Amino acid sequence: MSHSGVVESHTFCLPVNNIDTDQIIPGQFLTTTEREGLGRFCFYSWRFDENGSERPDNPFNAFDSSSQQVLVAGSNFGCGSSREHAPWALLDFGFKAVISSQFADIFRNNSLKNGLLPVQVDQSVAEHLLENPGKPVRIDIRSSTLSVEGLGEFQFLLDPFSAYCLTRGIDQLDFLLENEQKISQFEQAG
């Protein structure tokens, strides 16, 4: 995540409801605990056929990770089995945030713990974004706001600890390691 706490990008839209974690990264690619390199398997079966050849109807043919770092998807994004590989793959593919009207709870939690920002918005905002692919958006993590060009500014829920970690580009383990000395001092004092 951006250390500035702001993501400014055009959107990339997948107007599909109930995108599950197996669609985000199929089970056969879950053999690693490394985060790097998983982007090549992101939405693999949507991008490639059973022989590994690129599908002509691949929805990612026009995807540009340098200018489209915000994915907008249909409702119930990230449903299915729990796998941290899903946010890892999305991040490695080039996304910094996902906007949807509804997220599966486990996916949302895994995303926040791993640096991917899930932005839940009202159905009307999600529909506007899905109907207008490539729309410029600005996400401010500190104020938990999403600004959509031509539509307005919208609040989204984000707990302070997740916001702290996202704006610093750290995860929960990094947070503990940053505070290792304070933790040791506390333990010795008690």
Tokens of 128: 């506007």
Token output for 62: 């026009």
Write the DSSP symbol of residue 53: P
Along the 190 residues of the chain, how does pLDDT read in single tens digits? 445 799 999 999 999 999 999 999 998 888 877 888 999 999 999 999 999 999 999 999 989 999 999 999 999 999 998 889 999 999 999 999 999 999 999 999 999 999 999 999 999 999 999 999 999 999 999 999 999 999 999 999 999 999 998 998 887 777 677 767 777 777 788 6
What is the pTM assigned to this prediction? Answer: 0.90
Nearby residues of 106 by Cβ (< 8 Å), 6 or more positions away: 78, 82
